[in-house]
Structure 1
Amino acid sequence: MIQFQNEHIIVFQSELYKTTSLIIQTEDLLLVVDPNLLPNEVKLIQEHVNKMKGERPVYLLFTHSDWDHLVGYGAFLEATVIASKVLKDKVNKEEILNQIKQFDDQYYLDRDYPILFPPVDIAIEKEEQLLKIGNTNLTFYKAEGHTKDSIYTIIEPLGIWIAGDYLSDLEFPFIYFSSEKYEETLKKTDRILTNHKINMLIPGHGHIAKTYNEIIIRKEKSLQYIQELRSLIKTSRDSRHLLKDYKYKKGQLEDHEGNISLIKVELNIE
């Protein structure tokens, strides 16, 4: 389950959807990010946290409110939760919990922790909001588009960029909120790379990116997908060829069709 590991970070990858979870350790804290997805996978992350934390405080960061990223919250009830204020204020929390319960029921899965929506202790509501814990700095950027409540997080001095469901090597943009906001979020890439020395970018699904060029390529590919899809929709042309370079395109076709429906609404096209 471990995709990458060094003295500062463990990147876990679920068998399902290549969903990533993180444990980041500094002298000041242990940061757990989006613990997921299958019960035994969450248990493994929990075991690592218990072995590693020592006397350090444990913080739990959620990049956004999709059910597959929140599913492990109940295994870390004593952690201090960080998420966007938009996530904190969500009104459809029960709907997300029902998605988790439906998933578990579908596959006959049992968890030894409760299924709960995380209460947010530290709410992120400002662009470039800074959380300083000892010598560890967490800088947050709003990342609307995939969802309204998504955030980017930069961990310094480690130079780790936690991207949530953006900049994946396996997924085209899955747009659940706004294609224009998604573009705005992608266009923050250059500013982030200028403002911070990034050594590693971790997407919510897929593999880490370690170089400037790889991050830029992912950004440009995502922007191209959105812009070409919008153009094809305007002229009523087929857009399935936009998926030709994606390995799991048959499983992702529903999300592509969802993007089409959303952009049609944005463009007032029936």
Structure 2
Amino acid sequence: MAAFSRGVTSFLHPHAFRLPSTLRATLLNTRLQATRALPPTRQFSASILRRYAAPSRSSYVQADPVLRSVIQTHQPVLLYKEPPRNNYLMKVYAWATVTTGIGLYNFYWVSVLPEGLSFFVAPTYIVIGIAFCAIGIHIYQRPVRRLATLEVVPGYRGGRLQLRLTGRKEPWAKDQVIETDIFNATISEKTGPMLAEIVEANRARQQSITQGLEHLSIPLKVWEIMARWVEQKWTSFFLRFKFAVLQFGIIHVEVDGVKWKIDCTGYLREQGAAVDRILPVE
């Protein structure tokens, strides 16, 4: 029994499962070779990815004349500059003050209405007052986060091109400068169609009301001139309201989740084509 127990013990001992030395050497060499072969495989895969991913952006940069100019000259290129700020602020705050004043004046009239009027008169004044006050507050917020300039600047120590934004979060604050990767910014819409509509709006407001009336008689000419004058003034008022209240002509540039405003009535390089090429639409 003792011999049998020693045999069982030796059979169950872990060392009893060792393979012959020749097999162990073969398996060990195979494992070492496989382990040493893994890092080169990863490096090769990474190099393949870099080879196919890198040229896409570099070729895009070289194909654009503005970006290529920044790389060659190492000088910033201006893409956008806002219109004169003081005139803009005066117009915006004038519209906002007038609109808010009309709303507050409606509230005043509610308190001085004579008795005996219909039940809907006072609520009508209140609704009109609330609407005008809301429009005025909305106009007051228009100069917030407004860009002064938008530039493409060379990267630091030959790095990637950067986009430099200069603007104010509030009209009374100091200019804030933000630099970000050129591929990290987006725009809300293209500037080309917006500029075309702005040009057409300016043409309609500045068009001569006497053009093409030489062949008409005096009474018809007077009537046509009066009709054109009324139409032009109404169109001008509607366009001003559209610019002031609906913020027509404003495009947003989003950087790191923050939206900045571009006024398309200002300077845009290549009539906005440069911005449309460089910045994608979100």
TM-score tier by shorter-chain length is under 0.3
Higher strand share: 1
Tell which structure's C-alpha radius of gyration is larger.
Answer: 2
Q: Greater helix share, 1 or 2?
A: 2
Q: Which has the higher contact order (CA 8 A, sep 6+)?
A: 2
